[in-house]
Structure formats: structure tokens, C-alpha cells
Amino acid sequence: MSLATPVLEGNRLALARLLTQIENDTEAGRVALNELYPYTGKAHLVGVTGAPGTGKSSLVNQLARYYRHPPETETALKIGIVAVDPSSPFTGGAILGDRVRMRDLAGDPGVFIRSMASRGSLGGLATTTASIVQVMDAAGFEMILIETVGAGQAEVEIARLAHTTLVIEAPGLGDDIQAIKAGILEIADILVINKADRPGVENAERALRGNLELAHPSKRLINMYSETAHHAAPTVASQHFQGENSELIWSPPILKTIATEGVGIAEVGLEILRHYQYLVDSGELKRREKARLSAELDLLLQATLVQRWRDSIPDNRYQHVLGQIVERKLSPWQAVQRLLSQST
Amino acid sequence: MSGRKIRGLVAKPGLDGHDRGAKVVARALRDSGMEVIYTGLRQTPEMIAEAALQEDVDVVGLSILSGAHMALVPRILELLKANQQDNVRVFIGGIIPDEDVPRLMEIGVVGVYGPGTLTDDIIRDVRSAVSSVSST
Ligand SMILES: Nc1nc2c(ncn2[C@@H]2O[C@H](COP(=O)(O)OP(=O)(O)OP(=O)(O)O)[C@@H](O)[C@H]2O)c(=O)[nH]1
Ligand SMILES: [Mg+2]
């Protein structure tokens, strides 16, 4: 039987086992992914990134609780959580410790938590994280919270994968806020200053606000999605966003939380939903989706074409040209010209 | 190497608050190349079984110093079985009196390790326990 069927039926063990297949990039896993693909695209993907120890896992725990027990007017969402931690570059092993902060979610059948190791990938996610998220999406989780490694560098990959990206800061990480340098503000849809019980919150907020003014949001959209951002004027004017004829532009809010005590969580929870609404109303959701899928398709095409071409020529021809590059007789670009003209 | 990573869960059931041993074992397993989910202190058997399921682990290591092992361990094995996770190998570390060991092994525990055990021995046992599962 296909691995996909029981997953669609809500079998948690089948889901867990399929996730392992996906992580190990097996043939059975790929087949199941193909079968599940038509069922994907429904979940709201929320990225949570920020330097180590800022409180990402604690916040994910609280947000999941919030959406599981929302205020009376809202319905509870089924929540999937994917938490990525770094693999050791030396042994390939990893300690995945994010669940320690998520014990409040134990025993809730509407929550599914999966830890994964980055397995050598450097962008804050593992190479299979997107596929893991897809499977959870198909399995019916309505919101998927994705916690990145949090290496403190620009973890841009999460912004590509997630619809809504939260950047978590905490006071006292240094005199100023460290992660600001890494251009991380540019990927933030929502900024959270966690550990607001700690001294230095005001400084942190001031620093963030100052830097945000530099990273103008409209610039940001055009930079990230340059091909598509020009011709797709926002069609729906939403009452959430400023006056009548101003463009639909999202300016990232700065929110303060104390994740360990659940303070400020509802505000973040609401803001995440409001951002999704903005993405829908502005047409940005469709644009981002298309840009992401286009990039994914291009990557797959490249890999497949290269493989097909390599299989079609004798290896010694390739090795010969490679040797000439090593000896500086051909530049890589000349080598490509040579290889491609010879093979026709 | 089978190419497939061994995934383990290291948990501390019961109420005692010392997780040093658990952390030492988690690190040793990591250093041997495994991926180890660490869940922290005061886990109920239900929490442990649920995490083992969601994480699809091959092995569960329990650190128990409280003396409650004869209540906790059978319950955890029962829950794993109820979840159709009979394939998961369970080992225990901590303070376990010798006379309890045969009973624990009888109900399905693959190894019991007292203070002073070399982590290399644990790693070797875990590897062979896991490979005996996947080859059947
Ligand atoms: N004082 C205070 N401590 C907090 C708060 N939120 C989290 N912490 C503590 O900060 C530490 C790190 O929290 P985590 O949630 O594990 O942080 P993280 O960003 O997920 O950490 P990594 O995944 O290791 O990068 C823990 O000891 C938490 O208890 C907060 O609002 N205030
Ligand atoms: Mg964490």
C-alpha cells in the first residue's frame, strides 16, 4: 500500500514514518510526495528564526497553545511544528532539544511536533524541510510553525519557504542587537522582542525601530520578488491597511513577549493571522507561491538536465576538460562552451 | 554505515531533577553520529511514547534515578506497543538494583546501565540492537 493513503486518513504513525522516508530521501518517500502534492498548499506556513537562545522554541510552544485554545470567536487550528537543530559537522550527529520547551503541547492530538537535524545544510533549514512541511500540509495541519537552526546569520531560506516570517530578538545579546547586521530584518514580517522581562528592552526596541526605517518594506518586496512584483497591482483594498488609495504595504510590527510566562502571545498570534490576510488581499500570497515554485522547478530542471547530459557523454571527455580547467588552460566558462559544442 | 541515521530519544521519566546522566548519554550518542531528541526532565510515560511516535525513533534511552523504574518502564513499553512501535529498542540508565534487571530484560528492555558504564559500551549495544531490528 502507498505510504500516502494512511497519512491522508490521519494516521500519526504513518505520518511519522513517512517523514523519516522523506528525510532520508528514499524512493518510497518521493513516490508518496508525488501522491500528496495535490493535497498541499492549504496550510499557513510560519517561520520562526532568530539567534540561539532568544526563545524561539518557547514562543512556538506558546503560539501553538494560543491557536489550539483561541478566543471564543475563532476556531482552533491543527498545528504542525518542525524544529531544526544543527548537525555536528564532524560526526554528523545532532542533539535535537527544542521539544524541551514544548511540553505544554503533549497529549494534544491536534499538534504534531517533528525535530530534524540540518544535515550539513547551512541556510538554517535542512534540504528536506520543505518536503517535510509539504507532508504535514497534506496531512491536514492548518498552520505549520517552522523553527530554524538560529545560527544568527541570515537565514533567508526560511523566508522563501514560509508565508509569514517571525524574527525573534532578545535584549542583552550584546550592547546592540546582533542579528541586525545579518540583514535579517529584511526577511522579518513580524519582529518579536522576547524576554521583555529582562533589562535592555527599550534599547533593543529603539535599535530595531531605527533599523527598520532603513529597510523600507516596499523596497523589500521588490528586491525579493523582482520579476513578479511590478505588474500585479494590489486589487483588493483592505480596511486593515491605511487609507483608500495607499498601496497595500505591510510594515513589520515590533511586538514584545515574555514567552516563559505567556505574556504578549495573543498579540503575536493575531498579527500572524493578520499578515496572512494581507498576503491574500494584496495578491502577494499567489506571487510568492509562484516565485517559490518557479525557483524550485528551475533547480530540479537544472539538476535533471545536468544528470541527463552527464549520462549521455563519455566520462573521460568530461574528465579531460576538467583537467584543462585545473591546469588553467581553460576557464570554467570556456570549458562549458567546449563541452556543449562537442556533445552535439 | 547503512546510510540511514539512527534516531534516538533520551528522556527522563519520573520526578527526580537530575539530568546530568541523561545529557552525558545524549551527547555520547550524538558524538557517535546519531540524531538524538532530548526531551528534558519530568516526562510522563505518555509524553515519552508520544514523542517516540512523532519522532519515529529507533531507540529510546531512559534515565531513572528515582527508584520508580518498575512502574515506569513497563508502562512505557506498553504504550509503545499500543502505538505499534514494537520495533523501538528501549534501554535504561541510572540506579537500578541488580535484582530488578532480569525482570526488565524479560519485558523487553535491551540494556540496563548503572553508574560508571562506559558510553562506548552503550553505543555499541544501541547499534547492534537497532541493526537487529532493521535486518528482520
Ligand atoms: N527570562 C526569560 N527567559 C526566557 C523567555 N523565553 C525563553 N526564555 C528562556 O531562554 C532559554 C532559551 O529558550 P528557547 O525557547 O530554548 O530558545 P531557542 O531560541 O529556541 O533556543 P535554540 O533553539 O537553542 O536556539 C530557556 O532557558 C528559556 O526558558 C522569556 O520571555 N524571559
Ligand atoms: Mg529552540
Q: What is the mean pLDDT of residues A282-300?
A: 89
Q: How many inter-chain contacts (A to B, CB under 8 Å) are there? A: 78
The CATH number linked to B95 is 3.40.50.280
Q: Is a pLDDT exceeding 50 seen at residue A243? A: no
How high does pLDDT run on average in chain B? 91
Please state the ipTM of this predicted complex.
Answer: 0.94
Residue B1 lies in a domain: no
Q: Is a pLDDT exceeding 60 seen at residue A46? A: yes
- Chain centroid to Cα B89, Å, comes to 7
Contact A93 B32 (CB under 8 A): yes
* 8 Å CB contact between B44 and B72: no
Find the DSSP H helices in chain A.
Answer: 4-8, 12-23, 27-36, 56-68, 129-138, 157-161, 201-214, 217-224, 226-229, 265-282, 284-312, 315-326, 332-342
Q: How far does residue A58's CA lie from ligand 1's centre (Å)?
A: 6
What is the domain partition of chain A in residue ranges? 40-285, 298-343
Residue B54 lies in a domain: yes
Residue B2 lies in a domain: no
Q: Does the CB atom of residue A176 touch ligand 1 within 6 A? A: no
Touching check for B87 and chain A: CB below 8 Å?
no
Looking at the complex, report in whole angstroms how far the Cα of residue A114 sits from the nearest Cα belonging to chain B. Answer: 6
Separation of alpha carbons A248 and A217, rounded Å = 11
Q: What pLDDT is stored for residue A235 in this prediction?
A: 38
Separation of alpha carbons A23 and A229, rounded Å = 33
Find the DSSP H helices in B69-118.
Answer: 69-82, 101-106
Please check whether the domain covering A40-285 is classified as CATH 3.40.47.10.
no
More confident residue, B40 or A17: A17
Q: Is a pLDDT exceeding 70 seen at residue A54? A: yes
Domain count along chain B: 1
Q: Which of B50, B56, B83 minimises the CB distance to A107?
A: B50
Q: What pLDDT is stored for residue A10 in this prediction?
A: 96
**Searching chain A, which residue's CA lies closest to the CA of residue B53?**
A13
Q: Is a pLDDT exceeding 80 seen at residue A294? A: yes
Q: Which residues contact A168 (CB under 8 A, 6 or more apart)?
A: A48, A49, A50, A51, A54, A55, A56, A59, A192, A194
Could you tell me the CA-to-CA distances from A38 to A42, A110, A244 in Å, in that order? 10, 22, 38
Looking at the complex, report in whole angstroms how far the Cα of residue B4 sits from the nearest Cα belonging to chain A. Answer: 7
Phi then psi for residue B61, to 5 deg, are -110, 130
Q: What pLDDT is stored for residue A118 in this prediction?
A: 93
Confidence class of residue A146 from pLDDT cuts 50, 70 and 90? very high
Contact B50 A13 (CB under 8 A): no
Residue B132, H or E segment: helix B119-134
Interface of A with B (CB under 8 A): 12-13, 16-17, 19-20, 24, 87-88, 91-97, 99-100, 103, 106-107, 112-115, 117
Q: What is the mean pLDDT of residues A313-320?
A: 92
Q: How far does residue A86's CA lie from ligand 2's centre (Å)?
A: 11
Of the given ranges (A87-101, A182-196, A226-240, B49-63), which has the lowest mean pLDDT?
A226-240
Domain containing B92 equals 7-130
Separation of alpha carbons B42 and B13, rounded Å = 5
Beta bridge partners of A191: A167, A254
Q: What pLDDT is stored for residue A224 in this prediction?
A: 45
